[in-house]
Structure 1
Amino acid sequence: MTRPSRPVAFTLHKVTEKIYRKRGFASSGVLNNWAAIVGKDLGRHTAPERLSADGTLRLRVDGPLATEIKHLEPQIQERIASYFGYRAVIRLSLIQGPLEKLPVEKSRSERSVDSD
């Protein structure tokens, strides 16, 4: 007797949740919503890597912005607290380095209409 098939997303979710927990994230929410949490500009130049049990969020930052991010630490902590509903992040640990390049969505080219 065969088992009913399950959507790939269901199986993938179980696998990815283990990876998120290993890095200190209870779920994928912070990673998937990072730009919405901290804002588009900061989200474009930063990426959360790990959240430790003591409340330290390791954040990868484009090199030149590290100093500015350090000054914005209280605001970033507040935005994360608003997302979680409590103060989950006590401090930021900044790692300077290149971020993973995300694919850029190409704009649709306009179609020309022939007038016959």
Structure 2
Amino acid sequence: MTAPKKPPRDPAQRTNAPKALGVSLGRLTRPIMKQRGVALAEIINRWSEIAGPLLVKETQPEKMVYASGAGHAATLEIAVSPSFALELQHLSPLIIEKINGHFGFRAVEKLRLKQTPIHRPESQTQAGRSSRPLTTEEQAKLEDLLTGVEDRDLRQVLESLGRSLFGASR
């Protein structure tokens, strides 16, 4: 015996009523967010933009820990210089808000502070950069490369980049 067939559904009796986008957003973004290393890499690469100049000197994001069942919200572990740890603890809600605002979703739920001396690679410190002026040859080459760049702001940025590549500063 076969089971009786159900009558076709009446389109007027939809069970999929419209829902707010936020209800479906987690389900839609979950496959993308499974690549969780992307968020940490973005935080590390953009830390100076997210945190600001004061925090960059005293902190360094290190890793993100995801609790099972927590969706894509994580705990961000930040190395912080011991002299700045208490202040950073008070700033934690603001930092979390800035990080999540950068991503446009709740990427970080809380911060875990790890007190340790902050060591920056020479490429990230101002002291590691040479402050020598460009040689005449380097200046001529840079000017040649910038020929045709009419936008003043773009030209300044490219000139600064060129100077840093040649190992000189303004």
TM-score norm. by structure 1 comes to 0.68
Identity of aligned residues (%): 34
Alignment of 1:1-116 (within 5 A): 25-26=37-38, 28-54=41-67, 55-103=74-122, 104-109=128-133
Q: Any idea what SS the aligned residue of 2:60 has?
A: strand
TM-score norm. by structure 2 comes to 0.48
Residue of structure 2 equivalent to 1:8: none
More helix per residue: 2
In 2, Cα distance between the equivalents of 1:92 and 1:53?
A: 12
Per-residue CA deviation, residues 58-108 of structure 1 (Å, 9 max, x unaligned), is: 100011000000000011001101111111111110000012222122323
Shift of 1:51: 0.7
Show structure 1 runs of 5+ residues with no match.
1-20, 112-116
In 2, Cα distance between the equivalents of 1:100 and 1:25?
A: 22
Shift of 1:30: 1.2
Contact 1:81 1:89 in 2 (8 A): yes
Amino acid at match of 2:89: K
RMSD: 1.9
Show structure 2 runs of 5+ residues with no match.
1-34, 68-73, 123-127, 136-170
Q: How many aligned residue pairs are there?
A: 89
Amino acid at match of 2:132: R
Point out the structure with max Rg over C-alpha: 2
Shift of 1:109: 4.2
Which has the bigger relative contact order, CA under 8 A and spacing at least 6?
Answer: 1
